């Protein structure tokens, strides 16, 4: 599922759109992390980062603790 959020910057009249995809699951296979996405056209992708690195990248450095 992809969500498009319409945003406007303070003092600017022109909107811009942010695309967000929801991750439904994350698993590990050998040295790859598998991200599974939500939705009717859902797909899975492989990334080289560990789950801890993926969370830290997207949620901040403190999110990686305890994973």
Q: Is the pTM of this model over 0.85?
A: no
First to last CA, the chain: 25
Is pLDDT of 67 > 50? no
Q: Where are the beta strands (DSSP E) in the chain?
A: 2-8, 15-21, 23-29, 32-37, 44-47
Q: Which CATH class is domain 4-59?
A: mainly beta
Confidence category of residue 64, pLDDT binned at 50, 70, 90: very low
Q: φ, ψ for residue 52 (rounded to 5)?
A: -60, -40
Domain regions of the chain by residue span:
4-59
Closest CA to 46 of 38, 54, 57, 56: 54
In 1-67, alpha helices (H): 51-59
What would the pLDDT profile of 12-55 be if each residue is shown by its tens digit? 778 877 777 777 888 888 888 888 887 666 678 888 888 788 77
């Amino acid at each position: 599922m992809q969500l498009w959020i319409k945003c406007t910057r303070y003092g600017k009249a022109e909107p811009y759109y942010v695309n967000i995809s929801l991750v439904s699951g994350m698993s590990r296979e050998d040295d790859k992390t598998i991200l599974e996405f939500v939705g009717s056209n859902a797909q899975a992708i492989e990334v080289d980062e560990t789950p801890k690195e993926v969370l830290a990248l997207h949620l901040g450095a403190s999110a990686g603790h305890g994973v």
